[in-house]
Amino acid sequence: MLPPALAVLTGRDEQGVCLIARDGVGRVVSCAGAAAFMRPEHAQARSECWWGMLATDPGRRGARLSLLLGARAILIMRGRYGFGGVTTGVAPGSAPSEETILSAADPTLVAGGRMTK
């Protein structure tokens, strides 16, 4: 997934926010963003936003900067724009963000034998 355009993340063209953390000399050491992602005419366009772009300078990892900025981005999207839910994606190989989920079901009990639509 490509990140939204700057005009979206600054809130100029769409509802969105991009947050950064700077160190003592002004260097950006972490960031997070969130933005509307559904077309305005979609029935649920304002119920769920996209969230992500979590990144932290390798020398600052472990300080939970992305976690704090990401949580703040979600709160801003809810408070400023009224979004109640978020969706995100995880890049393959991003071990801190990956989670393994195992699902098991009896295919005779699941309609059509499928667990997804």
In a domain, 76, yes or no: yes
Q: Which domain holds residue 27?
A: 6-113
- Site of tokens 């077309």: 39
Q: Lowest-confidence range among 30-44, 46-60, 70-84, 89-103?
A: 89-103
Confidence of residue 75 (pLDDT cuts 50, 70, 90): very high
Contact 4, 14 (CB under 8 A): yes
Tokens standing for residue 65: 């900067």
What DSSP assignment string belongs to 15-48?
SEEEEEEE-TTS-EEEEEEEEE-S-TTSTTTTTE
pLDDT digits (tens, 9 = 90+) for 5-48: 666 666 677 788 889 999 999 999 999 989 888 777 888 777 88
- Has residue 1 been placed in a domain? no
Evaluate whether 51 touches 73 at the Cβ level (below 8 Å): yes
Name 63's Cβ contacts closer than 8 Å, sequence gap at least 6. 56
Domain count, the chain: 1
Q: What does the DSSP assignment read for 40-78? A: TTSTTTTTEEEEEEEEE-GGGTTS-HHHHHHHHHHHHHH
Judge if pTM exceeds 0.75: no
Per the document, the length of the chain is 117
Q: Would 38 be classed as within a structural domain?
A: yes
Q: Tell me the mean pLDDT in the region 104-113.
A: 62
Share of the chain above pLDDT 90, in %: 25
Check which CATH number belongs to the domain holding 41 and give it: 3.40.630.30
Measuring CA to CA, how many Å separate 71 from each of 23, 31, 83? Answer: 19, 11, 14
Q: Is residue 62 part of a domain?
A: yes
| pLDDT value of residue 29 | 94
